[in-house]
């Protein structure tokens, strides 16, 4: 598998009011759950963080030196760090992301520069795989202060993957505030708690 996995925890979590990576769902944090899902693929992920104190002690941390520009800066650091051609770049705020979604993305990482998840017509650039060839494009976006991940998808060849067969609710794809968290907890109890 010519893919490295990176989970970004560098966001400010301003809408949640607390660090999303450390939010608890069941008996694990968001980050622990996503790491476990990736580990089921036989891969140990790296963490992109603005602080070395922000993560699980057994995982390698890549510092995001530009957290103020959002996830584009973290993706740049991940692609610079990776020894593989492709990087799977994920946000920490989707603790119940099904492994099947990652498997589907991986299957498509054989040519396109971006392989991006889509659910109900909405693209999710933080559930995606990116090629190192995008580095000059990202560098240019940063130079002109265009930090939009969606614009990166427009700039180069992108393959959109419909992940709706594996997603019960959009809340599985990001959890941004306390209202989302309560909805996610209910979904967890209804569908996932028996598997813990």
CA 173 to chain centre: 9
Q: What is the pLDDT of residues 146-162, one digit of tens each?
A: 999 999 998 778 999 99
Q: What is the pLDDT of residues 162-174, one digit of tens each?
A: 999 999 899 898 8
C-alpha distances out from residue 139 to 56, 81, 82, 133, Å: 29, 15, 16, 11
The whole-model pTM stands at: 0.92
Distance, CA of 166 to CA of 37 (rounded, Å): 14
- Choose the weakest-confidence range: 50-59, 83-92, 121-130: 50-59
Domain ranges of the chain: 3-195
pLDDT of residue 17: 46
pLDDT of residue 119: 96
Q: What is the pLDDT of residues 175-185, one digit of tens each?
A: 888 888 889 88
Q: What is the pLDDT of residues 37-80, one digit of tens each?
A: 999 999 999 999 887 765 566 889 998 888 889 999 999 999 99
pLDDT of residue 194: 60
CA contacts within 13 A on the Cβ side of 196:
15
C-alpha distances out from residue 118 to 30, 134, 165, 170, 182, Å: 21, 20, 11, 10, 24
* pLDDT exceeds 90 at position 11: no
* pLDDT exceeds 70 at position 1: no
Contact partners, residue 55, CB within 8 Å, separation at least 6: 9, 21, 31, 47, 49, 61
Confidence band for 125, pLDDT divided at 50, 70 and 90:
very high
* pLDDT exceeds 70 at position 109: yes
Assigned token pair, 151: 């614009």
pLDDT of residue 56: 61
CATH H superfamily, domain 3-195: Spore Coat Polysaccharide Biosynthesis Protein SpsA; Chain A (3.90.550.10)
């Amino acid at each position: 598998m010519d893919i490295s996995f990176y989970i970004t925890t560098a966001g400010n979590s301003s809408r949640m009011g607390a660090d999303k990576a450390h939010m608890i769902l069941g008996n694990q944090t968001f980050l622990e759950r996503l790491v476990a899902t990736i580990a089921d693929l036989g891969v140990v992920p790296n963490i992109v963080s603005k602080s070395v104190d922000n993560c699980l002690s057994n995982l390698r941390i890549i510092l995001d030196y530009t957290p103020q520009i959002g996830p584009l800066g973290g993706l740049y650091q991940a692609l610079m760090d990776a020894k593989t051609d492709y990087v799977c770049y994920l946000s920490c705020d989707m603790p119940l992301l099904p492994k099947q979604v990652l498997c589907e993305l991986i299957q498509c990482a054989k040519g396109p520069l971006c392989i991006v998840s889509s659910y109900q017509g909405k693209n999710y650039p933080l559930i995606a795989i990116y090629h190192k060839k995008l580095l000059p494009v990202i560098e240019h976006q940063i130079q002109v202060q265009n930090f939009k991940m969606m614009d990166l998808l427009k700039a180069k060849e992108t393959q959109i993957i419909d992940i709706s067969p594996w997603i019960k609710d959009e809340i599985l794809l990001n959890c941004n505030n306390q209202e989302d968290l309560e909805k996610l907890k209910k979904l967890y109890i209804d569908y996932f708690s028996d598997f813990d």
